[in-house]
Each structure stands twice: as C-alpha cells, then as structure tokens.
Amino acid sequence: MFGNDDVLADRKYRATLTCISLKGTIMILNKEEFLRIFRTENESWKVQFSQAKEREKSELNTLLNYEKVKRVISRNESEI
C-alpha cells in the first residue's frame, strides 16, 4: 500500500510508483473511500495510523541528522 501516510497526515501525495514488469495491476482508492473503509475497521485504522506516525518520526529524524551533518561539514570547510 502506498500513499496512505499522506492521506493520514492530510498532505499532498508524495508517493510515485513505477512498474518494472510487463504486467501489473494497480488498485486505486480515493481519499474518501480509503478513510471510509479504514475508519469502519477500528483495529486496521489504529495499525495504519500508528505505522504512519512511526514512519513520519523516522523521516523527521533522518532530516534532522542530515542537517546536523551539513552543519559539521560547513563548519569544517570554514576552518580550512
């Protein structure tokens, strides 16, 4: 499943899919249908929401670490 994190976070879609085989099937749910289905399945909703939050935290940590590395590199370059 792709794009569910963006729906749950109420942001524009960031997922892009590319099929590398000669055959493929894509099943699409619009935002309203996705929310209707998962909200009626309470346990599924909790799992989706929890997983989305964990991935979002991980992405944020990655960005913060990237910024720290950039500052260290910049500081080192200015000392040269």
Question: Other CB atoms closer than 10 Å to residue 20's CB: what's the count?
Answer: 5
Q: What whole-number distance in Å separates Cα of residue 58 and Cα of residue 69?
A: 17
User: How does pLDDT run across 16-61, given as a tens digit for each residue?
Assistant: 778 788 888 877 888 888 888 877 777 777 777 777 778 788 888 8
Position 65 confidence tier, pLDDT thresholds 50, 70, 90: confident
Domain that holds residue 27: 4-79
Structure-token pair, residue 31: 């935002």
* pTM, 2 dp: 0.43
Q: How many domains does the chain have?
A: 1
- pLDDT confidence of residue 80: 63
